[in-house]
């Protein structure tokens, strides 16, 4: 599954990043994100706050990582 990070905002700052299937707006944890929210590639995940539930879901979906 191709995934990317999508931002969840609080006011105008990024609250945390969720993992979403590429081109989708629903995170792996079930959170619906704004379609226009900023996205970035997964390798950038290590420099920001990433949703723990998304992280757990992504590991179970891709055990080879």
In angstroms, give the least distance from the CB of 43 to Zn ion: 18
Residues at the contact surface with Zn ion, assessed by CB under 5 A: 18, 27, 29, 31, 51, 54
How far apart (Å, rounded) are the C-alpha atoms in residues 30 and 50? 14
Q: Between residues 52 and 64, which has the closer beta carbon with respect to Zn ion?
A: 52
Q: Report whether 2 contacts 42 (CB < 8 A).
A: no
Q: Between residues 3 and 18, which has the closer beta carbon with respect to Zn ion?
A: 18
Q: Between residues 12 and 32, which has the closer beta carbon with respect to Zn ion?
A: 32
The residue among 22, 25, 20, 32 whose CA lies nearest residue 57 is: 20
């Amino acid at each position: 599954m191709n995934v990317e990070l999508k931002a969840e905002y609080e006011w105008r700052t990024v609250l945390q990043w969720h993992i979403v299937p590429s081109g989708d707006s629903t995170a792996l944890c079930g959170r619906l994100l704004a379609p226009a929210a900023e996205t970035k590639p997964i390798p950038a995940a290590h420099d920001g706050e990433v949703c723990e539930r998304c992280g757990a879901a992504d590991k179970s979906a891709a055990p080879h990582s």
